[in-house]
Chain A
Amino acid sequence: MKIKNVPQDNSSTYGKMKKAIYASLEDGTIKSISSSGWEVEEVVTRQAIDELEENKKEAYAKVKSGEKSPLYFYMYELRMDLAVLSQSTGFFKWSIKRDFKPEVFAKISKKRLLVYCDVLGKTLEEIKTLPKVENE
């Protein structure tokens, strides 16, 4: 890519950051240059963020309707999935799935709850309930 062709698309997904891209001058010398974004990259990052947001919204609804425990919502709020939560807590996936059941979660041990709190960055109070209005 020639330096003059390095996209400067002010992508919203760059969050005001700039990225260094390597590109060439006419004589073939290659330099690093700051780019404010590329439309193509914005499409795929946006796609990933939308997917995370959608998961979070669905989780919120499921917790609100009493189908799932608040833990289920906080996992998605923190952009995790079952695999990441399992690796982060050291708990088996199946045992976390049990904690997604409101009746199981209500009787969860304090020790286990504290592990979730630590990993998710929540207090004991916060993790037991849904936030009043959905963030954002």
Chain B
Amino acid sequence: MSEFEHRHYAHCESGVMSSMLRYSGLDISEPMIFGLSNALNFAYIPFVKIGGMPLVSYRSIPKSIIKNIQKNLKIQMKLETFSSKKKGEERLDELLSEGRVVGAQSSVYWLEYFPPEISFHFNAHNLLVYGRDEDEYLISDPVFDKSVRCGRKSLLKARFAKGMMAPKGLLYYPVFVPKEIDLKPIIKKNIKKVSKYMLKTPVPIAGLRGIRYLAKSIPKLKYKEKKYAKLFLGNIVRMQEEIGTGGAGFRFMYASFLEEASELFENDKILKDASSLMLEVGDKWRNFALVIAKAIKSKEDIDYKGISEMLKSISEDEARVYKKLLEFK
């Protein structure tokens, strides 16, 4: 095996998969991984609270990128969880001594190399371990611009953090990776899948319906304490930008996927146009974030109606992208 090379990605799970497959001889970009695993989504789940705030997500559920890439690209992966810390630690050392690079799920909070500013309790972080130097692991964390090191104790604690989405020491690595894959049919299938889902999901809290549902709940914030209302709005923007989405809640990354796909289909016009439209939608999400940040800082009354209308208009613009994508045959 060749020397492992760290690369900087926007998102942890798509970054780990791109990095891991490149090391196994299959060069697939992060946006392509994201698109092929139909990870784009939106969900607003008011009855699931994280840090007292309702769950807002711009992508599919954690681990779905790993699982969908495995399924859609016909890659054989091994996923292992452990009943004890000791077994989980020994297994990692064993896999490393075989010369593998190993994906691991972990909590963010207990990883010592994370700066305190973003050290929050989030259990579905993903990183790649590519070596060990005595009691320090060599880690390629996709969301860091350089590779990092992490002490044995810290990594173990992070891998076995308990609670919501507990990683249970999860390790994963490919056992068979095809050398060449015809991406075209997989692209077609997954573009169709995402577009249909976003437009027509029967679940009222997901897809474009999820965006509209969130939009509807924003005007009701005026009956709440102002501090809560500000935290509620801030939480939406955090999920959109802070957690490593590549900007605009993965919309920019998906636009990049569409652009790359267009090239593969001899500069297909529909895909290219959809990519530009998605970039514009992304800009609107960024503007939505800007308006919220201003409202949080201001002492004036918050224009809940206006923020809600912005969100509705974004859902209409996104609908246009997916309708365009459904024209792609």
**A15, B253: Cβ atoms under 8 Å?**
no
Check A64 for interface membership: any CB of B closer than 8 A.
no
A1 CB to closest chain B CB, in angstroms? 6
B216 at the interface (CB under 8 A from A): no
Is the beta-carbon distance between A15 and B116 smaller than 8 angstroms?
Answer: yes
Q: B275 touching A28 by the CB < 8 A rule?
A: yes
CB-CB nearest in chain A for B290: A40
Q: What 0/1 readout, one digit per residue, does chain A (3-30) give for beta carbons within 8 Å of chain B?
A: 0001000001111111111111000111
A82-128 residues with Cβ-Cβ distance < 8 A to B are: 83-84, 87-90, 119, 121
- Pick the residue among B162, B230, B282, B292 that contacts A90 (CB under 8 A): B162
Interface of B: prevailing SS: helix
Is the beta-carbon distance between A23 and B252 smaller than 8 angstroms?
yes
A-B contact count (CB 8 A): 143
List the A side residues contacting B120 at CB < 8 Å. 48, 79
Partner of B241, one of A22, A38, A78: A38
Contact partner of B253 (CB less than 8 A), chosen from A22, A43, A45, is A22
Interface members, chain A 45-70 (any B CB < 8 Å): 45, 47-49, 51
Q: Which residues of B contact A23 (CB under 8 A)?
A: 247, 252
How far is the CB of A121 from the nearest CB of chain B, in Å?
Answer: 7
Establish whether residues B234 and A47, one from each chain, have CB atoms under 8 Å apart when the complex forms: yes
Please tell me the number of chain A residues within 8 Å of chain B, measured between CB atoms. 44
Q: Chain A: interface secondary structure?
A: mixed
Q: A44 contacts B259, CB within 8 Å?
A: no
Chain B hits for A81, CB < 8 A: 51-52
Q: Which of B114, B242, B252 contacts A21 (CB 8 A)?
A: B252
Is B303 on the interface with A (CB-CB < 8 A)?
no
Q: Among B9, B157, B235, B259, which residue has the most Cβ atoms of chain A within 10 A? A: B259
Whether B234 and A18, one on each chain, are in contact in the complex, defined by CB atoms closer than 8 angstroms, is no
Which chain B residues border A32 with CB–CB below 8 Å?
8-10, 30, 246, 256
Identify B259's interface contact among A12, A28, A48, A121, CB under 8 A: A28
Cross-chain contact of A88 among B10, B163, B297 (Cβ < 8 A): B163
Distance of A34 Cα from B10 Cα, bound (Å): 9
Is A19 a contact partner of B293 (Cβ separation < 8 A)?
no
B9 touches A20 (CB 8 A): yes
Whether B118 and A28, one on each chain, are in contact in the complex, defined by CB atoms closer than 8 angstroms, is no
Query: A12, B117: Cβ atoms under 8 Å?
Result: yes
Do A44 and B237 touch across chains, with their CB atoms under 8 A apart?
Answer: yes
Cβ of A51 and Cβ of B231 under 8 Å apart?
yes
For B121, list chain A residues within 8 Å (CB): 79-80, 84
Task: Judge if B286 is at the interface, Cβ distance under 8 Å.
Answer: yes
B9, B114, B161, B163 pick with most chain A CB within 10 angstroms: B163
B241 to chain A, nearest CB (A): 4
Query: In the assembled complex, which residues on chain B have CB atoms less than 8 Å from the CB atom of A16?
Result: 115
Indicate if the CB atoms of A34 and B8 lie closer than 8 Å.
yes
Contact B247 A1 (CB under 8 A): yes
Closest-by-CB residue of A relative to B233 is A44
Query: In the complex, are the beta carbons of A15 and B115 less than 8 A apart?
Result: yes
Does B276 reach chain A (CB closer than 8 Å)?
yes
Residues 150 to 178 of chain B near chain A (Cβ within 8 Å): 157, 161-164, 166
Question: For residues 2 through 60 of chain B, which have their beta carbon under 8 Å from a beta carbon of chain A?
Answer: 8-10, 30-31, 49, 51-52
Q: A22-B255, A24-B279 are in contact. Are A83 and B49 (CB under 8 A)?
A: yes
Q: Is the CB of B293 within 8 A of A84?
A: no
Which residues of A approach B to under 8 Å, CB–CB?
A: 1, 6, 12-24, 28-32, 34, 38-41, 43-45, 47-49, 51, 78-81, 83-84, 87-90, 119, 121
17 A-B pairs with CB atoms under 8 Å apart are: A13-B117, A15-B117, A15-B118, A17-B115, A20-B143, A21-B246, A28-B275, A30-B252, A30-B259, A30-B279, A32-B9, A40-B241, A40-B286, A44-B234, A81-B51, A87-B163, A119-B162
